[in-house]
Amino acid sequence: MAYRYNHILIRYGELSLKGKNRNNFIKALYDNVRKALKAFPTLEFEKQHDRMYIYLHDEDSKQVSDILAKVFGISSFSLAIKVEPDLDQIIDACYESLDLTTPKTFKVAARRSDKLFPYISDDINRRVATKILKNSDWKVDVHNPDVKIVVEVHQDAAYIMTDRIQGAGGYPVGVGGKAMVLLSGGIDSPVACYLMMKRGVHIECIHYASPPYTSQNAQEKVMELARLVSGYQGDVLVHVVPFTDLQLAIYQNADESYAITLMRRMMMRIATGLAKKRHAQAIATGESIGQVASQTLESMLAINDVTNMPIIRPVVCMDKVEIIDLSKKIGTYETSILPYEDCCTIFTPKNPVTKPRVDKCEKYEAKWDFDKMVQDCIDNTEDIWVHPVKVEEDLF
Ligand SMILES: Nc1ncnc2c1ncn2[C@@H]1O[C@H](COP(=O)(O)OP(=O)(O)OP(=O)(O)O)[C@@H](O)[C@H]1O
């Protein structure tokens, strides 16, 4: 009988800490895994209280692994061969799963959860190793092996596994509620998206566009960033807000030095309206302390003043270098540094106020009926779904 890797064994992450919420978390993870892999309709799934299994048929295990590596709530996973809990089958499966043509070092690491299995772990290790040593040029190295063969013997089955593949960690997306993330074309806000999702928060994105001052290219760049981060959630809804009129009104009614602060306050009002409409519990941004004048604590105070929704700033205390490293890791950096203009950068004031005062903001805002313009922005927002696979090859 020929054996091949026909299973993926998934280990849960921080889930195990969650006491009575555990079942909800496992269910959410199970749903997220199935959703992430819906391009592979022939896969079969099974959830247990401490593990999840995927049964492969002819699917490409590398493609499946690449998708799984982005699902939050998974601490690690392994390709596995499932056999009967029978020593001969275990030995044969271990042996046949290896490509023995080039000499390598190896180690067998067996574990029994079924203590009634008639062979102890050491016995299993020795028997498997003996077969490999007798039939190849491979050598044992228990400290630093090229290949680690893991055998797990349960009551109903035994699994032979490759090394662990690191999972994305965190909590399953959705168990932490929903947030609206303000997505610009910069480096930081896609990282903020990733960090929110990693905490189990389902995200929708809001992008403020100011055509004709911002171009179609700029918007496409933001869509591409949303697509890149959507791999961690399955899909993402992007709300594109027509922001031009409101932005021009700010410049007509306020001192230039207050324009950025007022713009942010308007963004927050719109985000609050959209969050309520979409039943989200928070707003998130890519701001971090002191990167630019508008990101001082005083500025955040003035911005927060217009909403009572929590504003979460996941990168608030990170260095720029740390944020860049993370954006490279999640694959958004190269897109973020493309040179298209954002609505914040087209009207950049020469001397933006670094310590804005709320009373001054209110004085400027009292000069025109911004409420109606905010409502117009909310009403005329365009909603666009993005998926991890590009449209032309979209399998969803
Ligand atoms: N046009 C926009 N649409 C949506 N959100 C925006 C927009 N411009 C700014 N923001 C939000 O405000 C935050 C701070 O914006 P700022 O202009 O200071 O930084 P940035 O360089 O544009 O972007 P980033 O912070 O993502 O690198 C962004 O992280 C983002 O959350």
Tens digits of residue pLDDT in 176-213: 999 999 999 999 999 999 999 999 999 999 999 999 98
Pairing assessment for the beta strands 178-182 and 282-284 based on DSSP bridges: parallel
Residue 300 has pLDDT above 70, yes or no: yes
Q: Which CATH architecture has domain 7-166?
A: 2-Layer Sandwich (3.30)
Query: Rounded to whole angstroms, how far apart are CA atoms 141 and 162?
Result: 16
Give yes or no for residue 182 CB within 6 A of ligand 1: yes
Q: Which residue has the tokens 């190793």?
A: 129
Kind of pairing between the strands at 158-161 and 147-153:
antiparallel
Residues 162-180 pLDDT 10s: 778 999 999 999 999 999 9
Q: Residue 393: pLDDT band by 50, 70, 90 thresholds? A: very low
Residue 225 · residue 375 · CB < 8 Å:
no
Provide the CB-side half-sphere exposure for 192 (13 A, CA): 29
Query: Which percentage of the chain shows pLDDT scores above 90?
Result: 79
Ligand 1 neighbour 188 (Cβ under 6 A): yes
> Confidence band (pLDDT; 50, 70, 90) for 345?
low
Mark residue 200 as left, alpha or beta (left: phi above 0; alpha: psi -120 to 50; beta: remaining).
left
Lowest mean pLDDT among 10-24, 68-82, 159-173: 10-24
194 membership: H or E segment, kind and range: helix 188-198
Best probe residue, ligand 1, of 189, 241, 263, 313 (max atoms within 8 Å of C-beta)? 189
State the chain's mean pLDDT as an integer.
91
With b meaning 16 or more CB within 10 Å and e meaning fewer, what string describes 109-140?
A: bbebeeeebeeeeeebbebbbeebeeebebee
Confidence of residue 2 (pLDDT cuts 50, 70, 90): low
pLDDT in tens, 75-127: 999 999 999 999 999 999 999 988 899 999 999 999 998 788 899 999 999 99
Rounded Cα distance, 274 and 294, in Å: 23
Q: Quick one: pLDDT at residue 350?
A: 78
Q: What percent of the chain has pLDDT over 70?
A: 94
Which fold, 178-393? Rossmann fold (3.40.50)
Q: Whose CA is closest to 331, among 170, 190, 172, 237?
A: 190
Residue nearest (by alpha carbon) to ligand 1 atom 28: 286
Q: Say whether the ipTM exceeds 0.95.
A: yes
The residue ranking higher by pLDDT, 279 or 218, is 279
The full set of domain ranges for the chain reads 7-166, 178-393
Q: Is 219 in the pocket of ligand 1 (CB under 6 A)?
A: no
Residue ranges of E strands in the chain: 7-12, 44-47, 51-55, 74-83, 105-112, 139-140, 147-153, 158-161, 165-166, 178-182, 202-209, 236-242, 282-284, 311-312, 382-386
pLDDT, greater one: 49 or 154: 154
Q: Is the CB of 343 under 6 A from ligand 1?
A: yes
